[in-house]
Structure 1
Amino acid sequence: MYESHIRPARLADELALGALDRETWSTLHAVSPRPVPPYDPFFDSNHRPEDYLVAADGPAESARGGAAGGTDGGTGPGDVIGYIRIAAPTPLACNQHVRQIQGLAVTDRARGRGIGRALLRAACDESRRRGAVRITLRVLGHNAPARGLYESEGFAVEGVLPGEFWIGGEYVDDVMMGRSLR
C-alpha cells in the first residue's frame, strides 16, 4: 500500500521539485509569469533545501531516499508529490519568532488525498521546532480552495491589499493570513 510521507527536502529533489512547480503553475496562485525554458534552478541562495518539506509517495523507506525513491516527477514509489516552503519573513532579528509559508504545491495526481493539509501541519510543527510562535502566509484573494484550507487549519485573515496584483486581466487582492503556533 502506498501513502505519502513528509520529509525534509534534499538537493537531489531539485529536478522533481522544479518539474512539480512548473506542472502546478496557475494564475490561481502565481503572481510571476509562467516559467519557460531554460528553467532557473529550483534551489538557489534564497531557496535552500532546508527551507522545504517534501511529500513523497510510497513506502517510508523509499520516501527517505532508498533506491526506489524517484526524483524525476514520475509515478513510482518515493516520487515527490508535493512541497511546502517555510522561511523567515524577514532577516531581522526582531522577527525571527515568525515563520512564513512561501509556497505550497501538490501534483494533480495526488490532489484530494490530504497532502496539502499534511504539508501545512508539518510546516507548523517544523516552525515550532525552529522556535517560531507564529506562522503567516499570503494568498491571492481569488484562491478560494487555498483560503478554505488555511482557514480550516486555524489561519485567519489579518490584512488585505485590495487589487494588489493584475493577473489574467483583473485586479486580484493579496490576502495576509496568520495563526499562533502556541
Structure 2
Amino acid sequence: MNYAKNCMALALGGVLHMQSYLCSSPSPSRGAGGARMLATVTPLSQTHSLEKIPAVYRALSLGMGVTEVKEALKKDSIFGYRGERDVSLLMSENRILIETTGPHFIARSWFQFYRDRLYAMTFKLNTDAIDYYSVYENLCKKYGEPHKLSPRVALWEDASTRLVLERPLIIKYIDIRAFNEQLSARDTQKSNAEKDRKRFVQGF
C-alpha cells in the first residue's frame, strides 16, 4: 500500500507541480539556464491548431470508466498491462491508480481516476528508442505551436483537455475540468482543516 501511495503521489505530484509552475509569477531569482516561467507563445484565442487537442490515446479516452480502461489495456500490448496486480486503490483518497510497465516505446504508464473516471494519462517514453525533439515536432505539426513553452515543458490545451510534453520525455493527457475540481476540493479541505484547528486552539 505504501508503494501504491508513493506511485500515486509521484504521478499526481507531477501534474500538480506542472499546474503550480504554470500559475507561478516570474521570479528574478530563477537562473537563466534553470527552470523558469513558461512563456506564452501565442494567446490561446489566437492559436489555430491543425487538430483538436486530443482526449484520446490509442483506445484510451479521458472520461472512461475503470472497467473500460482495464479492457482497453488488455487488448494493447504496448502498455504491458498485467491485470489486477497493476491496479492500486488508495483507501485514504478512495482513488484508483493503474500503473504499467511497457516492453519498448512506453517505459511506464500511469492512469489516474477521479470519481471512477479516467482524468489523467501519463506516459514515460523510452529515451533509448524515442527522442524529445521528434515528439515535439510531431505535436507541433498536429496541434500547432504550444500555447505555453519553457525549457522543460511544452503545453497545448483547449477548454477541456491539456496535453503536456515534459523533459526528459513524458507526455500527459489531462481532463481540465476534473483536475480543477480536485484542486478546488483540496483547497476546501485545507480551509476546513484550518477552521477546525482554530476552533480547537480557541477552546483553551
Q: TM tier, shorter chain?
A: under 0.3
TM-score (normalised: structure 1): 0.27
Which structure has more helix as a fraction of its residues? 2
Instruction: Tell which structure's C-alpha radius of gyration is larger.
Output: 2
Which structure has more strand as a fraction of its residues? 1
TM-score (normalised: structure 2): 0.25
